[in-house]
Amino acid sequence: MPRPIAARIDGGALRHNYLLARNQARRGEGRARAWAVVKANAYGHGLLRAARALADVADGFALLDLEEAVRLRDAGIRQPILLLEGFFEAADLAVCAAHDLTLVVHRLEQLQMLRRASLPVRLPIFLKLNSGMNRLGLTAAELPAVRRELAASPAVSAVTLMTHFAEADGDGGEACITWQLERFAGMLADWPEAATWPVSLANSAAILRYPQTARDWVRPGIMLYGGSPFADQDAASLGLKPVMTLHSRILAVQEIAVGERVGYGGTFVARRPTRVGVVACGYADGYPRHAPGGTPIVVAGQATTTLGRVSMDMLACDLTDLPAAGVNSPVVLWGEGLAADAVAAAAGTISYELFCALARRVPVVEV
């Protein structure tokens, strides 16, 4: 028999979350289109698996790697595909042209490489402006040169403007959103032509809380996979469904006395007679090693917590108050019945990291 651990991926939940994101962006009379952000192997859910689930509903797909974009085209995806970091060297441009890709341009040098490339077709670009995140994007001082490059370039077919919010998910979101929108508008104040171009601003957090940011294209990421972008609001309350459920079973049960320890380093010391369940899941499966004892877990449909330190292939949980649970009882590490955000919060991380860390050795079951 195979080891009793698997990740269940629910394509229907992914579709639900995508449509919710797009409908949120279209509140009122908006007609925003939504990129399905499938970077990082669709946040660990499987690039082609996610693309198949969304193929007949998604307006477009957004990712980072040129190789992954080509895989989508080879798989029959015909919607627009956006390279979120653009291209990295001039040699990439022939492949981008051959596969009809849309490029984010965040450096002046990228525009210069485009102009010199002598491509057989013109490519659409998303011109990324740095409105305050200070990660990627063109500055106000660079815009005169950008305008000259665009005017001289035979390689660009259409321009969409974009920026990225730094704190849409935080306590100061409203003020920070307003400040970045004002800076974005200020950068374009002396560029009349830009007023006619489409705009892409909103990530998951902005889609959900700041409808004024929806504009022409939105870029939902974590919400597609059933994770909340907010520390103070869970995914279920936002109407999102978990897409990945990591589940396993109890391998063994140990009965320990007061004062006995569990696992490497003996970090858990029993204060009462304790039934310890040993779960077939460890950090080599993608469960966070730094998750402390007390992290939530579900056994046989009942909530309990982990005990001690996570090891490579196993972790322990408390079955003392679950007398019906024992060997072969089903376990949910996160997903249906246990929000990944709750596990991530206990481990001092975010659900993005849990999903992306799923190990290749974990079998995947599609539903």
SS (H, E, C) 200-240: ECCCHHHHHHCHHHCCCEECCCHHHHCCCCCCCCCCHHHCC
Q: Token pair of 326, please? A: 């024992």
Residue 7 backbone dihedrals phi, psi, to 5 degrees: -110, 125
CA-CA distance, 305 to 292, in Å (whole number)?
Answer: 10
Q: What is the pLDDT of residue 14?
A: 98
Active site residue 39: yes
Q: Distances from the Cα of 289 to the Cαs of 183, 309, 356, in angstroms?
A: 41, 7, 14
Instruction: Check whether 135 is labelled as a binding-site residue.
Output: yes
- Among 39, 128, 210, 283, the one annotated catalytic: 39
Q: For position 174, what pLDDT does the model report?
A: 83
pLDDT at 171: 77
52 known member of a binding site: no
Q: Answer yes or no: 287 catalytic.
A: no
What domains, with CATH codes, occur in the chain?
11-229 (3.20.20.10), 244-366 (2.40.37.10)
Question: For each successive 10 residues of the chain (367 residues), what is the average pLDDT?
Answer: 94 98 88 97 98 98 97 98 97 97 98 94 97 95 96 95 93 85 95 95 96 95 97 96 98 98 96 98 98 98 98 98 98 98 97 97 97
- The confidence score (pLDDT) of residue 341 equals 97
- Residues 307 and 323: their CA atoms lie apart, in Å, by 17
| pTM of structure | 0.96
Work out the angle at residue 233's Cα, subtended by the Cα atoms of residues 164 and 166, and round it to the nearest 5 degrees: 15
